[in-house]
Structures are given as structure tokens and as C-alpha cells.
Structure 1
Amino acid sequence: MHNEPLAFRMRPRNINEVVGQRHIIGKETALYKMILNGHVPSMLLYGEPGIGKTSLAHAIAGSSNLPFFSLNATHAGKKDVEQIVAEARIAGKVLLFLDEIHRFNKLQQDTLLPHVENGAIVLIGATTENPFHDVNPAIRSRCGEILQLKRLEPEDLMLLIDNALSDEERGLGKENIVITEKQIEKIALASNGDARKALTLLESIYFASDEQNGQTIIEDHTIEHLSKRIGVYGDKGGSHFYNLLSALQKSVRGSDTNAALYYLAHLLENGDLIAVCRRLLVMAYEDIGLANPAVGAHVYAATESAKVLGLPEARIPLANAVVEMCLSSKSNSAYSALDAAIKAIHDGKTGDIPMHLRDGHYAGAKTLGHVGYQYPHDYPVGTFGGWVNQQYLPDSLANEEFYKPVIAGEEKRMAGIYNQLKKFKKGQ
């Protein structure tokens, strides 16, 4: 029996053995053709754990004639980098795979980057973090390709599992395993697009199964037991976590209740309750806004309740908040209006505060001309309250309109008032 994990043993040996990622390394892609023609460019591979960054790097190395070296930036030192540089001087050109490249420090960069720039070292960097946020620009600029890998599709994972079951040299092909196509599909679906998890799960299921008459019989209950939580992934401070938050907000904004609940479930399984509560509260005012002002108070109550309750009970008020926001009327008019006002200020559209609006609650205010303010409460208008036609914006911005009402929900009524007041200003 092999000592290495099945996922390690089944890494592709060349680019023709890569499963999935056809948008990057499919036979019609430029990268595939370049490698077959003997040219390997420096590149960054970006994606979640387990979806094939390291495997792709090893496959590229297996399809090239370059000496191959592998380092992890979390514990590689300057000396390790200097050894690679020395090898490059001897061999003329080497291929270096640098995992966790976003953790590369400046000292390592200063040693390595000139040799990447002159072509002596072909660099393949891998990161789980967004390279445009977390990878040093000096490294990005020397990598011609930034390739985002995707989670594998279930059919890709099923092919991967089939390969492992049939491979007698590296996989489980020599073992007499009884497993159905439906069970292979269950393993693939439980792995949530993660190749490493799929093969690790398969290996665990094999070792947890009983042998009968020289055959290892795979049972459904073994798959179900070992599959629990396998699809959950997310570094609380990492790019994937923020992608989940983004997907949650965009699903609520798009009124897709099922998608929003799915992303909420994923976030809560990751356990960062405070970050989820903060995002939900922002959404209540950013995306629901004036169309349903009561939602802000409802979501605040739900998030405060969630913090008191803690997980797993916190999911209950948060589920209520998410469903309510999904199905609520929506408007972003208020904060969009504020952003427009901020932009006007940054663009230099400023002016003096009208004299009648300036502070008049002190001796000498009249001497400075701070007079003429009309108190709106003294001028009742129907059931609205008080209103008087006087100028509030500076003279240079007197005709500016930042607020553009959305005719939705409760804001429809507000929009009617807003438009009527505009008519009053024009004397209509």
C-alpha cells in the first residue's frame, strides 16, 4: 500500500492528464499550444484550495523539459531562493512553482525577480487570495498570465474518481472495490468542486468500508457519514469569504431568495457571525432603503438577536432578515444621492452657505447679516407639516438635484411629496 495520500498520487503527470479547467488548459487554449511548442510563460494561478493549482503546475512541469523546483512562500527563505537562482545559472532556465505567493516577502522578491525578468526562471505562482489585492505588483507585472481556476464540475470529479479507481499503479485499481455509478456521483457532489476533497473522501470511504469475500463493499451510509461538512470552505479573512459576502448581497439585491439563503448558509458554516451581521445591516440601507424604511429596524433587531443567541440559533433571525430583504421593494436612491453630493464637492462644486441659513443664535449675528430665515413650522401645508419656499443650497448650486426617487414601495409616496414640493418651488 502507498504511503502518500491518494490525492497526491493521482496528480496529473502532464497537461493531457489534467481534469477540468478547460478554459485554461483545454486543447484549444493558447496556453496548451504554447506548452506543447516548448514555451512556458510565467503565470499566476488563482483559486480556492483543492481545485488544481498545484496539480496544474506539476502537469505543466511534466510537459516541459525544464528542471522543476517547488517552494512554499510561507516558509521558504532567502537561501532557498538563492539555490534556485544558482540552479538557473547552471541549467540556463528552470521552472519554479511558488505556492502561497501572496506571502512572498521583499527580501525574497529582490533575490528572485531579476531572474524572472530576464527569463532564467519561469515562475508559476499559486494563491488562494485575489492577486490584484494581495500579490505584490512587482510579481504581477512579471507574470504575463493571471489565470483564475474554477471549481470542478461534478462530471469532472466523477472522471477523476473513475481514474483513481482504475489506475493500478497510483490509484486503487488493484483493490477489488464494489461501487456504483450513483455512489461515485454522490462523492463528486459532496466534494463541492474540490478535486483534493473528492479523492480524499474516496480514500476515506475505501478504508472505512467492510470487506466481504475478498471485495470491499461501498455502502451509502458510509458515504453520507464521511461527506458531512466536506463542502464547507472559507478563510474568514480571505478572498473566498468576501466573495461569499458579495454573492449574498447581490442575490438579495436581485431578489433571489434561494441563492441568498444558500450563501448565508455557507457564510454561517464558516462561523464569522459578526461579519455577516454587519453586511446584512449595510444591505438593509443600501439596497432596500427608502422603498421599505422599516426593514432597517427589522434587520438591526435580527442581527442584534443573532449576536445574543450565537450560532447555531443565530441562523433563525438572520434567515428571517434575508428572506424579508429579498422580497422587499428596493431602492438605492438615498445613498446614491449622497454619493452624488460628495462627488459634486470633490469636483469643486461648492459655494457659500446662504446668509439666512447661518447660525444666528449669538449676539452680533445680525451684524454679520445672518438674518432672513423663515421657520417652516410656521407655514403648515395640509397634513405634511410645515414648508416655506426659501433657498437652502448655495447660489452656485441652487438648481442642483442629487436625489432621484425610485418609484417603489414606500418611496413611491415620498416621491410624490418630493415632486409636489418641486412644483411649489416653481410657483405652480
Structure 2
Amino acid sequence: MQHTTEPLAVRMRPQTIDDIVGQAHIIGPGTPLYKMIKKGYVPSLLLYGEPGTGKTSLAYAIARTAGRELIAINATSSGKKEIEEAAEAARWSGNVILFIDEIHRLNKAQQDVLLPHMESGLVTLIGATTENPFHEVNPAIRSRCGQIQQLKRIPPADLLVILKRALADPERGVGAKPVVIDEALLWRIAEAAGGDARAALSLLEAAVAAADERDGRLYIDEDIVASCTANRGFIHDRYGDHYYSLLSAFQKSVRGSDADAALHYLARLLEGGDLAAVCRRLLVIAYEDIGLANPMAGVKVQAAVEAAERIGLPEARIPLAVVTIELCLSPKSNSAYKALDAALADVRAGKLGEIPDHLKDAHYKGAAVLGHGKGYLYPHDYPNGWVAQAYLPSVLEGVRYYEPKEHGEEKYYAKVYRRLRQLSQENHVES
């Protein structure tokens, strides 16, 4: 391996956009961005993605392909001075792209310097961020960027291509000495990188450094790969956008009755130590997605959550696995909270009306004078504990918020609901 202070991941950065592996949805041949850059036009754009997905590499490749100078700064360590220097360089050459990494960390003073240069077209900006730009990047900067592109984790098959390039390149790659490694082991490195090209190349670099040299060749065996990839392949950020996507995918898998997918996302959340988040989400699911179709689900989840919190990880995974599968395979209903949402919409729209007099509080002296409580029929005094009388304000007479589902245990509630409405209509109950 050649002696250099530059990491392999830096040396192997793509030289042009044609060298980019992965991200075909953004920069593949035939995409609008690819065509623009090939013609020498570079719009201001934001690149959003997890670490190692190639945001910086893509910025450099774009600049080289378009024949533009790239000035790179980091928002966490650079200030107004560096932005002004980039703008001054652009005035002289008219050929500058300003690349700002961690762009979501720009403070107001930095933004005030940058925005006029973007507005005038003096500075072409490529911003990179690991955070969702729609949440974290200043709207004024977003509005001046022609494109916002999300980079995705690089699949192992594409990472394998990158690793093979590094092995085959004697100048920028792992060095002039041939490296002998089984394809299965190279694939294991690609998988262990977790979609991160920088991590994949770093793992390969470590494996080459640990390789046994014989006959002028470097041999990488299974033990070396196992040692280099130990505890790799799982990345978890509790506060990033990906974290909320994991929780969303978990709930949607349960809602969609896919037990295997739900267990996959549950495993990722628990591996990240997110016991509290999982417990909260399971309680939400029990009432939001299972609801009246299986009312005992909430009770069972509460019991499982209490058990999980008491015993802690790793044993907590046992009750959580049980209730996750049960929720997946349970009948589903969102009718209860949807009914409340409909009622809330009426309340917020001002559809209130007067509470019927017979329902008003009559537990105070003088209530009878006001007619409060007069004519109220006490249901417990009637057969089956029910009597026809009006409960809604008159302006909402006949309104229907609850739309019952016809499966699971809710079939029973649906039958009762329909019967009571029919009896009320037959008795022509008016508010």
C-alpha cells in the first residue's frame, strides 16, 4: 500500500460524474442534473443524505466535469471571511463553485453574507447536509437553490464496484502490490459498511494494512475481514431524520400487518438502544391502528411495556417481540380517533351550539329556575339502560362522526351503534 497521509476514501473520490457509482436517481446518465452538468451549467443545489453517501464526492465531481473551480468550507469552522473570499474569487474568475458542508449550521451572520451573492448569481452554491433541509436549512437559502437532492445509502453491489476499483488502481488505490481476497470476503466488507462508501473503503484499507505478504502479494483472509468488520454495519442516530423514518417504518409495517418487516425495524431500533421510543410507539399503535377492532391490545401493550421497562435490554426484547407480532396480526381499526378528529374539526370551525337544557348541570341552588336539568331522563331507570333523548346541540342534530369498521371485535360495536341510531330516529329524538 502506498505511503500517504490521505485516506483511501479521499484518494478514490470520483474524478467526474461518469465515475460516480450509485445515486443513479440523481446523477445517472439521462437525468436532468447529469445533462445540465455535461453542458457546463451548474445550478445552486442542496445535497442531503447520511454520512458516506457521497455528497462531498459528488460536489467535487460536478466541479471537475463542468470545468469549475471548487472552494470548499465547513459551516462549523468557517465564517463570514471565508464566504467573502469565495465571492471575491468568483468576481475575478467567474468560475467558482462554493461548497459548504454542514450547511444547516450556517448562522444568521453567515447567511446574510451568502444570500446576496447567491441572489446576484455571483456564487454557485452546493450545500451538503445530513439533516433534512426542509427542516434545518434556512428557507431563504432553499429558495435560491435550483435543486434539492436526497442521496441514498449505497447498496452493497455498488460498494463492491468501488472496492474493486480501489484494488485495481495502483496509483490512487490500495497500492502497487496485488491484493488477493475472495469475492465473498469483499462482499462481506461491502455489507458491513452499511451503505457508506467512505466506511467501505476505510474497512478495505484496514484489511490491506493487516494483510499477510507472500511472494510479493498481500493476502486477506477471513480472520482479517472478521476483525476489521467487527461491530460494523449498524449506524444509528437518535436525533437525525433517519431515526424518525425508522420509527415511521416500524409503525407502518405493523399497520400493514407485515410481521417480518416490523421485527426488522424493531431490531434496528432496539440495537440503537431506543427502548423508550419503541415503548411509546407501540402504545400509540395499539390505539391508533388497532383500536376498537381489538380493544384489549392496549392493555396487553401496556403490560408488555411495563415488563420491558422493568427488566431492561436485552431481555426487554422478549415481551416487545410478542406484542409487536400480535399487533401485526390483529385486526385493525382507526375509526375511534378518526371520529374524534371529525368532532374536533367541527369544534375548531365554531360548530358548537347550545348544550341542551336537560343535560346542563343541575347540582346547585337556582338551577331549576334556569330550567337546567329539567326533563332529563336517567337511562338507568329504563330497560337495558337506554332511553331515547337528545344529547347533541340542536345545530348538530343528526351529525355522524363515528364510522365503524365491520371486522374484529368492532363488528359488535358497529351493530350496537347502528341499532341505537335507528331507535333514536324511530323515536324522532330532537335536541
TM-score range, shorter chain: over 0.9
Aligned partners of 2:174 and 2:208 also within 8 Å: no
Q: Which residue of structure 1 aligns with residue 325 of structure 2?
A: 323
CA distance in 2, matches of 1:2, 1:184: 23
Aligned partners of 1:197 and 1:230 also within 8 Å: no
SS at match of 2:41: coil
Residue type at the aligned position of 1:17: D
SS at match of 1:152: coil
SS at match of 2:124: strand
Is 1:14 the equivalent of 2:13? no
Residue type at the aligned position of 2:418: N
Aligned partners of 1:178 and 1:215 also within 8 Å: yes
Aligned partners of 1:93 and 1:119 also within 8 Å: no
Aligned residue-pair number: 424
CA distance in 2, matches of 1:408, 1:197: 49
1:81 is aligned, of 76, 80, 83, to: 83
Q: Which residue of structure 2 aligns with residue 46 of structure 1?
A: 48
How far the C-alpha of 1:359 sits from its partner, in A, is: 0.7
Question: What CA deviation, in whole Å up to 9, does each residue of 1:318-341 have, x standing for no partner?
Answer: 212211111111111111111111
Is 1:378 the equivalent of 2:381? yes
Aligned partners of 1:178 and 1:218 also within 8 Å: yes
Aligned partners of 1:45 and 1:149 also within 8 Å: yes
CA distance in 2, matches of 1:257, 1:64: 48
Is 1:405 the equivalent of 2:408? no
TM-score, length-scaled by structure 1: 0.96
Question: What CA deviation, in whole Å up to 9, does each residue of 1:60-83 have, x standing for no partner?
Answer: 111122221111112222222222
Q: Which residue of structure 2 aligns with residue 394 of structure 1?
A: 393
Q: Which residue of structure 1 aligns with residue 349 of structure 2?
A: 347
Question: What CA deviation, in whole Å up to 9, does each residue of 1:361-417 have, x standing for no partner?
Answer: 111111111122111111132xxxx11111111101011111111122111111111
Q: Which residue of structure 2 aligns with residue 119 of structure 1?
A: 121
How far the C-alpha of 1:230 sits from its partner, in A, is: 2.1
Residue type at the aligned position of 2:31: T
How far the C-alpha of 1:135 sits from its partner, in A, is: 1.1
SS at match of 1:63: helix
TM-score, length-scaled by structure 2: 0.95
Question: What CA deviation, in whole Å up to 9, does each residue of 1:284-316 have, x standing for no partner?
Answer: 111111111111111122222222222222222
1:105 is aligned, of 107, 129, 136, to: 107
Q: Which residue of structure 2 aligns with residue 425 of structure 1?
A: 424
CA distance in 1, matches of 2:330, 2:14: 49
Aligned partners of 1:50 and 1:196 also within 8 Å: yes
Aligned partners of 2:336 and 2:402 also within 8 Å: yes
Superposition pairs of residues 224-239 of structure 1, within 5 angstroms: 224-239=226-241
CA distance in 1, matches of 2:231, 2:414: 48
How far the C-alpha of 1:208 sits from its partner, in A, is: 2.8
Residue type at the aligned position of 2:379: P
CA distance in 1, matches of 2:419, 2:142: 55
Q: Which residue of structure 2 aligns with residue 24 of structure 1?
A: 26
Q: Which residue of structure 1 aligns with residue 155 of structure 2?
A: 153
Aligned partners of 2:23 and 2:152 also within 8 Å: yes
How far the C-alpha of 1:173 sits from its partner, in A, is: 4.5
Superposition pairs of residues 290-329 of structure 1, within 5 angstroms: 290-329=292-331
Superposition pairs of residues 362-373 of structure 1, within 5 angstroms: 362-370=364-372, 371-373=374-376
2:185 is aligned, of 167, 183, 186, to: 183
How far the C-alpha of 1:93 sits from its partner, in A, is: 4.0
Residue type at the aligned position of 1:416: K
SS at match of 1:366: helix
Aligned partners of 2:301 and 2:323 also within 8 Å: yes
Between stretches 98-107 and 271-280, larger displacement belongs to 271-280
1:357 is aligned, of 356, 359, 363, to: 359
Identify unmatched segments of 5+ residues in structure 1: none
